[in-house]
Chains A and B, each alone.
Chain A
Amino acid sequence: MVYNLAVFGIDGPLLIIAGRLFLSIGLLMLTDHSKVAAEQDSRATQDRLCHDIAVEFLANRQRLGDFVWEFTRSVGRVDSLEDARRLHFRESYSMKGVWAIRGGTVKFELLCPSEDMERPRPDEKLEPGVWASVGCGSERD
């Protein structure tokens, strides 16, 4: 089918300009569409990556299983984040804590009084291969 654009008053150089304009708009729309598609792809990739990381975290956390861990906790004040990381206190005090997990549920938490630490543990009999307990060490190097 042939359209005679001249009937709409468009001919010669105007026709060329109109043609280029249509072509430019078409290309622009195509580019925009590609951009949107790329952004959607990127978003989907990011979401997948975040999902994978979340699943890794939770799987590791779940596989920790049942165990008891006794440790020392120190509370104090520091002058900077770097000091905090290095445990360079201005002043501090320490206490013993117990962290016990059974079936993924926290049974004991920090700040346990010392008598709690002496009680028989519900997790003494563990499945083979499951990490069981650690000793309570010094609060500082």
Chain B
Amino acid sequence: MTVSTALRGVNIEPATARLPVQTPFSLGVMGAGEEFSPGNLILAALSGEGSVVHLGQVTRHGRIVDQVEVFQRLDYKEMGSFAIATRMFLDRSQGSLPLELEILGSDIIDGDDVDVDDLEPVATVFITEIGQTDNGCWYPMAGCRVSVDGDAPY
């Protein structure tokens, strides 16, 4: 059996921030049960819970990947409404894992008009190494999640 040696991860965030649930697969940005994983996000958007657009193939970190963006409006009774855009660069030759996944968000919004360009970066995930299991599955071996800190650039 071939095994990997390590996950080398980095998580940059304010010292006071509450640490989110994480696995090497979700890296803390996919929610409980990976509800907001690329697969679940896209299917939810296609079923009407948001919108999804395929922006073609681009080169990312030396590989050809598919760029997909999902835009959602999240309504919470107590907190109000937020707009979230997830920009994904998915490698279809490796299980459609995201080599890069950027999350953009808004403050509380009023009304329906929200432009993606007005959203601010919240977090970015990089998967820098991908391994393959004996039964042909792809998994993240190394990666980092970068959370935006209000004071520092990253």
User: Once bound together, how far apart are the Cα atoms of A85 and B125, in whole Å?
Assistant: 9
User: Once bound together, how far apart are the Cα atoms of A78 and B148, in whole Å?
Assistant: 11
Task: Kindly state whether residue B63 has any CB partner on chain A within 8 Å.
Answer: no
**Docked-complex contact B34 and A61, CB < 8 angstroms:** yes
Task: Kindly state whether residue A57 has any CB partner on chain B within 8 Å.
Answer: yes
Number of A-B contacts (CB under 8 A): 164
Task: Kindly state whether residue A111 has any CB partner on chain B within 8 Å.
Answer: yes
**Count of interface residues, chain A, beta-carbon cutoff 8 Å:** 54
The size bracket of the interface on B is 35 or more
A74 contacts across to B, CB distance below 8 A: 8-11
A138 contacts across to B, CB distance below 8 A: 5-6
User: Once bound together, how far apart are the Cα atoms of A66 and B39, in whole Å?
Assistant: 20
Q: Known contacts A58-B39, A69-B24, A72-B7; is A53 also within 8 Å of B68 by CB?
A: yes
Q: Which of B6, B12, B33, B139 contacts A64 (CB 8 A)?
A: B139
Which residues of B are in contact with A by a Cβ distance under 8 Å? 1, 3-12, 19, 21-25, 33-34, 37-43, 45-46, 52-54, 66, 68, 90, 92, 95-97, 124, 126, 128, 133-139, 144, 146, 152-154
